[in-house]
């Protein structure tokens, strides 16, 4: 059973009652991510996450209890999560709260974390796959903040000061931008404790979030790298999270058939039947304002022309004829099973409920998902597929020759 409570200060709390567990999982979701940044402070959301989670005193106490605490930053939000045994609930949840909402930004910690994040940036720069995908997003969305890198550029990281960090923190770590999800064997006493604890978050100076609607530009980007393979990312525009949930589920079905699993069209044709690649897959990225459908692969320069032709033929066939009824039924069955598998993992439940509540204000349960899925028709899916594949597209290539012949436009 999922129960929602909105506190007087604006914090939204979801209580996920699971009676068969002996531990608790708690997630705190803050509407703070690279989408809300600008060119001069890009990277600060991720930087603050690092500073909060490195709290040495808190980490020592969590370790003593066998609790696990971690965090991550996305383009649209920052998430902190805690796993703890029931016997340590009171102590661990208070430490968890202090870690997020009662920080002290130590200048020495800031300097140390700058070096950590600069190394993290270099790690991604050394990965041609990451570079290829980042370049594709920038080609698609231009200078829009959704095209910003979550880690930010090196010069920004070096420039972050205590004053800038505190100002940004106080603008975003406020009740109106916060969602808490608690999953476990929740008694009325625990509910009361959580409500009392998170009611302490001060109102602060709320940052009014305004994001300009992105425009999918399309285009081609080449980058020369000393790589043994050619890396390709192909990107199409899709609807964002603000669209009907049935259309979003249709996109998942499209992705499944295109390249989202081992027997998808791209994987079956290019890898399984012809052995031309090791890695090829598709995946959606869905934001509030816009969505992206991606295809990524790497292959040898010798095989690249044939791989291009096969991708293009696959896309043109899908655009002309759509997915088949057997593909549609298999995709729906797999979607259903994956949601059930996911809902049986507590962290996945936390992430699903928290993200949906924070960004869309809805809290779908498994019955809602399956009901919506059952209402989707193959005609609806194929109409959306045609719309996606007739729109603009972006192509990003990373290879040792830089600019190479491309024949992928559909």
**Averaged pLDDT, 262-283:** 95
Q: At what angle do helices 346-359 and 325-343 cross, to 10 degrees?
A: 100
Same domain assignment for residues 254 and 306: yes
Q: Is residue 406 part of a domain?
A: no
pLDDT tens per residue across span 177-226: 999 999 999 999 999 999 999 999 988 665 677 888 999 999 999 999 99
Q: Is residue 207 part of a domain?
A: no
Same domain assignment for residues 360 and 267: yes
Same domain assignment for residues 256 and 132: no
**Which residues have CB under 8 Å from 239's CB, separation 6+?**
247, 248, 251, 290, 291, 384
Question: Could you tell me if residue 250 is left (phi over 0), alpha (psi between -120 and 50 degrees) or otherwise beta?
Answer: alpha
Task: Examine the pLDDT at 9 and tell me if it is beyond 90.
Answer: yes
How far is Cα 63 from Cα 35, in angstroms, rounded to an integer?
33
CB 11 within 8 A of CB 202: no
Same domain assignment for residues 320 and 190: no
The three-state secondary structure class of 241 is coil
Same domain assignment for residues 48 and 105: yes
pLDDT of 279: 95
CATH code for the domain in which residue 318 is found: 3.30.830.10
In this structure, the number of other CB atoms found within 10 A of the CB of residue 348 comes to: 14
Domain that holds residue 380: 219-399
Residue, of 362 and 345, whose pLDDT is higher: 345
Same domain assignment for residues 146 and 244: no
pLDDT tens per residue across span 350-400: 999 999 999 886 666 778 888 899 999 999 999 999 999 999 999 999 999
How far is Cα 3 from Cα 290, in angstroms, rounded to an integer?
30
Question: What are the DSSP E strand ranges found in 44-139?
Answer: 68-73, 78-85
Q: What is the DSSP letter of 114?
A: H
197 backbone dihedrals φ, ψ, rounded to 5°: -65, -50
Q: How far is CA 205 from the centre of its chain?
A: 27
How far is Cα 88 from Cα 59, in angstroms, rounded to an integer?
14
pLDDT tens per residue across span 253-266: 999 999 999 899 99
Bridge-based pairing state of the strands 78-85 and 68-73: antiparallel
CB 323 within 8 A of CB 265: no
Q: Could you give the number of structural domains in the chain?
A: 2
Q: Taking the CA of residue 294 as centre, how many other CA atoms within 13 Å lie in the half-sphere pointing to its CB?
A: 23
pTM for this predicted structure? 0.94
CB-neighbour burial class of residue 130 (10 A; exposed 0-12, middle 13-18, buried 19+): middle
pLDDT of 218: 92
pLDDT tens per residue across span 19-54: 888 999 999 999 999 999 999 999 999 999 999 998
**Averaged pLDDT, 160-167:** 96
pLDDT tens per residue across span 287-303: 999 999 999 999 999 99
């Amino acid at each position: 059973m999922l129960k929602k409570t909105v506190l007087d200060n604006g914090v939204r709390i979801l209580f996920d009652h699971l009676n068969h567990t002996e531990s608790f999982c708690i997630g705190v979701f803050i509407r703070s991510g690279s989408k809300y940044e600008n060119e001069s402070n890009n990277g600060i959301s991720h930087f603050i996450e690092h500073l909060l989670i490195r709290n040495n005193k808190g980490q020592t106490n969590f370790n003593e209890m066998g609790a696990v605490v971690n965090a991550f930053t996305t383009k649209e939000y920052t998430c902190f999560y805690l796993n703890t045994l029931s016997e340590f609930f009171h102590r661990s949840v208070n430490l968890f709260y202090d870690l997020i909402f009662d920080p002290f930004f130590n200048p020495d910690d800031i300097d140390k974390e700058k070096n950590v994040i600069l190394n993290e940036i270099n790690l991604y720069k050394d990965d041609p796959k990451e570079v290829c995908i980042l370049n594709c997003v920038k080609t698609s969305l231009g200078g829009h903040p959704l095209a910003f890198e979550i880690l930010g550029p090196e010069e920004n990281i070096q420039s972050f000061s205590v004053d800038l960090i505190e100002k940004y923190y106080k603008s975003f770590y406020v009740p109106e931008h916060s969602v808490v999800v608690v999953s476990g064997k929740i008694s009325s006493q625990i509910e009361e404790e959580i409500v009392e604890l998170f009611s302490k978050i001060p109102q602060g100076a709320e940052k009014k979030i305004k994001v300009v609607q992105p425009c999918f530009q399309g285009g081609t980007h080449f980058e020369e790298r000393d790589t043994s393979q050619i890396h390709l990312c192909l990107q199409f525009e899709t609807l964002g999270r603000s669209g009907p949930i049935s259309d979003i589920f249709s996109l998942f079905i499209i992705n499944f058939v295109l390249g989202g699993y081992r027997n998808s069209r791209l994987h079956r044709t290019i890898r399984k039947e012809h052995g031309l690649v090791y890695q090829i897959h598709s995946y959606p990225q869905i934001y509030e304002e816009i969505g992206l459908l991606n295809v990524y692969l790497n292959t040898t320069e010798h095989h690249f022309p044939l791989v291009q032709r096969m991708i293009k033929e696959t896309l043109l066939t899908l655009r002309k004829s759509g997915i088949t009824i057997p593909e549609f039924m298999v995709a729906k069955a797999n979607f259903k099973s994956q949601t059930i598998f996911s809902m049986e993992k507590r962290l996945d439940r936390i992430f699903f409920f928290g993200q949906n509540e924070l960004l869309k204000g809805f809290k779908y349960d498994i019955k809602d998902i399956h009901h919506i899925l059952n209402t989707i028709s193959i005609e609806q899916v194929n109409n959306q597929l045609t719309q996606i594949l007739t729109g603009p597209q972006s192509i990003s290539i990373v290879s040792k020759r830089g600019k190479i012949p491309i024949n992928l436009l559909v």
